[in-house]
């Protein structure tokens, strides 16, 4: 009596249900990095997804994980596809059961003492609506290499179509956001009533700005350096140390860092870089290496360094000045973004 149902179930084997995923108001598709440790969500223009992205390889803008183009579904899209497939399948099964039941009922003799009828709760098919694409994001990016249009929230470093590293733009944005954090200190002081909490928070902001300024510089200069055709891959973190970084740069581009900054400013910047090292690795406690490498004789071993807002502002200005000088001398400088 369940012939139709059995047939319907047999039909489901290997069935494909196609689901369409719409773009947002600006024509961008939602995508997500398939790497389980990342899952970064971004948007890419639908034309570029079709024309610029290669089937075999798409790059995550955040972590540069690469995977074939059929693996970049967002969680919302996967849920939607499952619902749509489920809706279609349950619809078919319901209809088959209804037909079986009707058939059974028709075969029941009308005049018998006992009459059994079957009924199937025949709900209308569940039709899933396409997920409305997430709201357009704030930062629209055009890859300077391949022209691909994509869109992210927060930081992104790589073009999804060609994997190009967008460090130039990222460096400028890092500098802006560090200055904005310093500018917010006055608000923090007003907003937090408890003076201990306020001062601790402010100190954390100031020190993290110093650490992040050095990281932004390191990352940017490493990328500038790697533009040199045939440049050897630099030792890890070499540009965290101004002496070593300067030597490497001179070998590649002809000038050392002093050429761009002058001896006095370079000495100031060296001190800030060494302070970052203490903050990152020694809980801010001064050791003999710090005194020797920074030339800073205002501390004794075992003291904690004091980092002030004015100092970090000066450090940011020096980082910016040095980076601009290096940028102008970097190979292929005119291929830069913006
Ligand atoms: Zn990723
Ligand atoms: Zn690109």
- State which residues have CB under 5 angstroms from ligand 2, the bound ion: 143, 145-146, 148, 159, 161-162, 164
Helix (H), strand (E) counts: the chain: 11, 6
pLDDT (0 to 100) of residue 334: 43
Residue 134 alpha carbon to ligand 1 centre in Å: 19
For the chain, what's the residue count?
338
Residue 258 alpha carbon to ligand 1 centre in Å: 38
Structure tokens that stand for 261 in this block: 């900054």
- How confident is the prediction for the chain on average, in pLDDT? 84
Residue 224 alpha carbon to ligand 2 centre in Å: 17
- Reported as a pLDDT band with limits 50, 70 and 90, residue 338 is very low
Residue 196 alpha carbon to ligand 1 centre in Å: 39
- State which residues have CB under 5 angstroms from ligand 1, the bound ion: 33, 35, 38, 40, 60, 62-63, 65
Per-residue burial over 57-68, b = 16 or more CB atoms within 10 Å of its CB, e = otherwise: ebbbbbbbbbee
Residue 42 alpha carbon to ligand 1 centre in Å: 10
Which of 80-89, 131-140, 168-177, 191-200 reaches the highest mean pLDDT?
191-200
Query: 31 vs 115, which has greater pLDDT?
Result: 31
CA distance 291 to 293: 6
Question: pTM score > 0.85 for this model?
Answer: no
pLDDT (0 to 100) of residue 136: 61
pLDDT (0 to 100) of residue 243: 94
Q: For residue 11, is pLDDT > 90?
A: no
CA distance 131 to 77: 7
- Reported as a pLDDT band with limits 50, 70 and 90, residue 151 is confident
pLDDT, one tens digit per residue, over 234-287 is: 777 889 999 999 999 999 889 999 999 999 999 999 999 999 999 999 999 999
Q: What percent of the chain has pLDDT over 90?
A: 48
- Reported as a pLDDT band with limits 50, 70 and 90, residue 302 is very high
- Reported as a pLDDT band with limits 50, 70 and 90, residue 336 is very low
Residue 235 alpha carbon to ligand 2 centre in Å: 26
Residue 62 alpha carbon to ligand 1 centre in Å: 5
3-class secondary-structure state, position 145: coil
pLDDT, one tens digit per residue, over 210-221 is: 999 998 898 889
Check: CB of residue 243 under 8 Å from CB of residue 191.
no
Per DSSP (E only), the strands in 80-178 are 139-142, 149-152
Range of lowest pLDDT (50-59, 170-179, 228-237, 288-297): 228-237
Which of 51-55, 85-89, 133-137 reaches the highest mean pLDDT?
51-55
- Reported as a pLDDT band with limits 50, 70 and 90, residue 51 is very high
Structure tokens that stand for 71 in this block: 């693996």
pLDDT, one tens digit per residue, over 311-334 is: 999 999 999 999 999 999 887 644
């Amino acid at each position: 009596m369940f012939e139709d149902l059995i047939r319907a179930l047999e039909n489901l084997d290997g069935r494909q249900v196609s689901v369409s995923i719409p773009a947002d108001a600006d024509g961008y598709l939602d995508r997500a990095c398939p790497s389980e440790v990342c899952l970064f969500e971004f948007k890419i223009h639908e034309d570029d997804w079709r024309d610029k992205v290669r089937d075999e390889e798409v790059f995550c803008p955040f972590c540069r994980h690469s995977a074939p183009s059929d693996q970049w579904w967002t969680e919302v899209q996967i849920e939607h596809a499952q619902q749509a497939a489920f809706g279609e399948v349950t619809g078919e099964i319901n209809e088959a059961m209804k037909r079986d039941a009707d058939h059974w009922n028709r075969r029941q003799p009308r005049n018998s003492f006992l009459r059994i009828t079957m009924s199937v709760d025949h709900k209308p098919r569940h039709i899933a609506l396409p997920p409305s694409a997430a709201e357009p994001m704030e930062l629209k990016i055009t890859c300077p290499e391949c022209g691909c249009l994509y869109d992210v929230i927060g930081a992104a470093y790589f073009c999804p179509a060609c994997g190009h590293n967008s460090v130039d733009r990222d460096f400028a944005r890092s500098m802006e956001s560090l200055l904005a954090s310093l500018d917010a200190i006055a608000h923090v002081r007003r907003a937090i009533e408890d003076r201990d909490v306020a001062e601790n928070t402010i100190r954390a902001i100031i020190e993290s700005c110093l650490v992040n300024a050095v990281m932004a510089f390191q990352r940017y200069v490493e990328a500038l350096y790697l533009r040199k055709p045939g440049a050897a891959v630099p030792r890890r973190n070499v540009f965290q140390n101004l002496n070593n970084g300067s030597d490497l740069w001179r070998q590649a581009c002809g000038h050392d860092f002093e050429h761009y900054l002058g001896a006095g400013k370079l000495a100031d910047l060296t001190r800030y870089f060494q302070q970052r090292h203490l903050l990152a690795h020694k809980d801010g406690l001064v050791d003999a290496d710090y005194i020797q490498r920074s030339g800073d004789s205002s501390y004794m071993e075992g003291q904690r360094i004091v980092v002030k807002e004015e100092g970090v502002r000066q450090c940011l200005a020096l980082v910016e000045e040095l980076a601009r000088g290096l940028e102008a001398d970097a190979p292929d400088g005119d291929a830069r973004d913006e």
